[in-house]
């Protein structure tokens, strides 16, 4: 183990991970299926958005100078709805056009008054404006996006709004990364499947289910294996099977210092470890390396730890594989509403509830922070990023990750 980076800082771990990204192919996918897929190239708009000056309101369009001394009476020249095929007339002084939201602005008009501030004569020929026209109710061509402008960048995980924007820009499909196949391999003699009757001293296996969900959340494809017993032969066999089937393997359990921590041992003896142990709490035991050419993350067995390590290390590793260094998770600044235990050496990742009702975002602990307590994560809005040496005093500030 001597030359393997051991007990590295969080930043050192990220630096090592960036040198070992996955090589993931691409495919072209129709809009309908883009949600939660990862964009593989920057994409540009094929149109100006809006395509033409148009009305933001149902109302009347006219020359602003006609409306500066309300009430003002104007003759109604035309009615225009969105998508109209009528020839646009030119608005002269004293004239108005009845206009619907999204309809093009006729030449000469430079202001809109919403219908609520207008009244129409009984014969429908005239409108009385009860207020000054509003120039800002004209949506200007290209004010959202210019044709040719890049609005979505490589590495974007498609959200509902970015799928919509892709359509706005005129693309029927987009080039995305293929989903990486990620094997999830829980280890431990004590583990049984939920729903089974537990034998003495057994517990329900939960990590593989949480990790499967996390893999899906990041836009990839999980394969969940049933748990492997703590034996070198069983582990070797299952790792070989997973390596043959997957682009990347996540194990859980068996990476600490104990005699039965066989993932660590087999990786030491037969694998290729790039780092082991990281200065974060919870979740200090993880290891990263290769099992016969396939990248492997050995996650801790404690359920809260395995989840936190996924968010802090595995997700950035996956993102680094599908973007040019950028695309990090959003962080917010929170103020500690109580004292938090910190460390001179480790990054402290407390599960917090964030109270947003006041001026500052206040961070409260979700309660007992044991690394086996998954409920501390279920209750949490976020995860503190309390840097080594942070005082943790009530009233101080730190970054937090939104969960
Ligand atoms: P280990 O890292 O293997 O020593 O496991 C640490 C703790 O996490 C032990 O209490 C294990 O029983 C528990 N644990 C390990 N793997 C799982 C799992 N897949 N689901 C739930 N608990 C687990
Ligand atoms: Mg174990």
CA dist 91 and 200 (Å) reads 86
* 114-128: average pLDDT: 97
Q: How far away, in angstroms, is 299 Cα from ligand 1 center?
A: 10
The CA distance from 225 to 379, in Å, is 28
Question: Which of 185, 208, 253, 261 for mutating ligand 1's site (highest number of atoms within 8 Å of CB)?
Answer: 253
Tell me the CA–centroid distance for residue 260 and ligand 1, in Å: 12
CATH of span 6-25+178-320: 3.40.980.10
Distance of CA 229 from the midpoint of ligand 1 (Å):
12
* Ligand 1 atom at shortest distance from the alpha carbon of 372: 8
Strands 118-120 and 181-186 come out as unpaired
133: Cβ below 6 Å to ligand 1?
no
For the CA of 227, the closest atom of ligand 1 is 19
Does residue 88 surpass a pLDDT of 90? no
Q: What's the CA-to-centroid distance between 207 and ligand 2, angstroms?
A: 12
What span, in angstroms and rounded, lies between the C-alpha atoms of 101 and 60?
Answer: 10
Question: Considering every ligand atom, which ligand is closest to the CA of 258?
Answer: 1
Residues 6+ apart with CB under 8 A from 282: 300, 302, 304, 305, 308, 349, 369, 371
Of the residues 301, 375, 377, which should be mutated to test ligand 1's pocket, given the most ligand atoms within 8 Å of the CB?
301
Q: Is the CB of 302 under 6 A from ligand 1?
A: yes
Please state which of the ranges 64-73, 80-89, 319-328 shows the lowest mean pLDDT. 319-328
For a pLDDT cut of 90, what percent of the chain falls above it?
95
Residue nearest to atom 23 of ligand 1 (CA): 301
| pLDDT score recorded for residue 326 | 60
Residue nearest to atom 16 of ligand 1 (CA): 301
Average pLDDT on 368-388 reads: 96
| CATH superfamily of the 27-48+146-177 domain | Molybdopterin biosynthesis moea protein, domain 2 (3.90.105.10)
CA of 343 to the centre of ligand 2 (A): 26
CATH superfamily membership of 54-139: Molybdopterin biosynthesis moea protein, domain 3. (2.170.190.11)
Residue extents of the structural domains in the chain: 6-25+178-320, 27-48+146-177, 54-139, 331-402
Confidence of residue 86 (pLDDT cuts 50, 70, 90): confident
Are residues 84 and 104 in contact, defined by beta-carbon separation less than 8 angstroms?
yes
- pLDDT of 327 above 70: no
**What pLDDT is recorded for position 260?**
86
Mean predicted confidence (pLDDT) in 96-119: 97
- The hierarchical CATH code for the domain 331-402 is 2.40.340.10
pLDDT band at 330 (very low <50, low <70, confident <90, very high): confident
């Amino acid at each position: 183990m001597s030359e393997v980076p051991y007990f590295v800082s969080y930043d050192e771990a990220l630096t090592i991970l960036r040198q070992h990204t996955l090589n993931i192919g691409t495919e072209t996918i129709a809009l309908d299926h883009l949600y939660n897929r990862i964009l593989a190239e920057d994409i540009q708009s094929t149109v100006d958005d809006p395509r033409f000056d148009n009305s933001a309101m149902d109302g009347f369009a006219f020359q602003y100078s006609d409306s500066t001394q309300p009430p003002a009476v104007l003759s109604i020249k035309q009615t225009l709805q969105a998508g109209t095929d009528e020839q646009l007339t030119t608005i002269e002084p004293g004239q108005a056009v009845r206009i619907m939201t999204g309809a093009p602005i006729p030449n000469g008009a430079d202001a809109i008054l919403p219908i609520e501030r207008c009244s129409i004569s009984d014969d429908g020929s005239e409108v009385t404006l009860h207020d000054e026209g509003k120039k800002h109710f004209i949506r200007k061509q290209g004010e959202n996006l210019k044709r040719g402008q890049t609005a979505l960048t490589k590495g974007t995980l498609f959200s509902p709004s970015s799928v919509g924007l892709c359509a706005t820009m005129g693309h029927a499909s987009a080039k995305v990364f293929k989903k990486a196949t990620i094997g999830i391999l829980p280890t431990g003699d004590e583990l049984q499947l939920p729903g089974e009757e537990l034998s003495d001293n057994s517990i329900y296996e939960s990590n593989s289910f949480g990790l499967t969900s996390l893999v899906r959340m990041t836009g990839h494809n999980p394969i969940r294996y049933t748990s492997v017993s703590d034996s070198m032969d069983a582990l070797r066999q299952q790792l070989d099977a997973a390596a043959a089937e997957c682009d990347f393997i996540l194990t859980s359990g068996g990476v600490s210092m104990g005699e039965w921590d066989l993932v660590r041992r087999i990786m030491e003896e037969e694998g290729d470890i790039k780092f082991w142990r990281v200065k974060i709490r919870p979740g200090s035991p993880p290891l990263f390396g290769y099992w016969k050419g396939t990248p492997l993350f050995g996650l801790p067995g404690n359920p809260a730890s395995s989840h936190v390590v996924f968010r802090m290390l595995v997700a950035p590793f996956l993102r680094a594989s599908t973007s040019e260094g950028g695309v990090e998770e959003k962080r917010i600044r929170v103020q500690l509403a109580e004292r938090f235990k910190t460390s001179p050496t480790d990054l402290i990742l407390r599960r917090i509830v964030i109270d947003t009702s006041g001026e500052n975002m206040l961070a409260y602990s979700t309660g007992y922070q044991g690394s086996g307590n998954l409920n501390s994560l279920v209750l949490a809005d976020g995860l503190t990023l309390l840097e080594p040496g942070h005082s943790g005093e009530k009233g101080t500030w730190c970054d937090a990750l939104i969960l």
